[in-house]
Amino acid sequence: MTDSVPWLLKKRSIRSNILLSFGFSFLIATFMTFVLMFMLSTFPHLSELQIYGLHLSQFIPIASAVIFVLSFFILTHPIIKEIVTLESAIDTISDGDLNHRIPPMHLIELRMFSCQVNSIVEHIQEQIANKREREIAEKEWLEQVINELRTPLDAIIRNLDMLKRRSYQSEKDHVQILHETYNAAYQLRKSINDLSQYARLSSN
């Protein structure tokens, strides 16, 4: 879209573009005024023609003004077009499409601004991606902690049930069950401490 910018206006500031457009419009209007005056002087009978009671020569200033305005509008249209393109891209990004980027701009101010906006959007995307990675890692860690809590807890319940029903053959088995229960309780306490430490770090 920005490739339609005239080569003379590319890679210049907005102020320079407006001044150049004004200058070219003035030159075009002056040239066309000279052409019209030359035609009237070459063909005298044309100057005698009247429109709404006015001679054609009296319309030359009006024609020059119209030519100047049209030329200035045509030359500055690419500038307006780039500004509209920039505005449209920013609206798309602000609506939540962070994959959208502002296209390359030819005007210096707009090019610098678009690069800054694209850089900010990329930084936001990186932050969102990092946050998602942290959330996934935290979820996996919590699942692992839950499994670590469940395993010793199941072992404690199973061993206590065996002790309650006296489901052991000898004193050696009884001691073994108590030892396993102690180890499971110790492992459970360690997992709870890890979870508590994580909760404190997350709150900070």
Per-residue pLDDT of the chain (204 residues), as tens digits, is 445 545 455 556 778 888 888 999 999 999 988 888 887 777 666 656 555 545 566 777 888 899 999 999 998 888 888 899 999 999 999 898 889 999 988 888 888 899 999 999 999 999 999 999 988 988 888 888 788 788 888 888 888 887 777 777 788 877 888 888 888 888 888 888 877 887 777 766
In whole angstroms, give the CA distance from residue 144 to residue 165.
32
Residue 126: partners with Cβ closer than 8 Å, 6 or more residues away:
none
Query: How many residues does the structure list for the chain?
Result: 204
The pLDDT score that the predictor gives to residue 2 is 44
The pLDDT score that the predictor gives to residue 148 is 78
The pLDDT score that the predictor gives to residue 204 is 61
Which pTM value belongs to this model?
Answer: 0.60
| CA 161 remoteness from chain centre | 61
Q: What is the pLDDT of residues 74-91, one digit of tens each?
A: 988 888 888 999 999 999
The pLDDT score that the predictor gives to residue 181 is 85
- What residue has token string 């030159």? 27
Query: b vs e for 117-146, b when ≥16 Cβ sit within 10 Å of the residue's Cβ?
Result: bbeebeeeeeeeeeeeeeeeeeeeeeeeee
Say which CATH architecture domain 130-203 belongs to: Orthogonal Bundle (1.10)
The pLDDT score that the predictor gives to residue 124 is 92
In whole angstroms, give the CA distance from residue 93 to residue 101.
8
Q: In the chain, what are the domain boundaries?
A: 2-106, 130-203
In whole angstroms, give the CA distance from residue 66 to residue 80.
20
Among 78, 72, 77, which Cα is nearest to 4's? 78
Q: Which amino acid is at 145?
A: V
Residue 6 structure tokens: 């005239």
What is Dmax (Cα atoms) for the chain?
135
Q: Which helix (H) or strand (E) holds 55?
A: strand 54-55
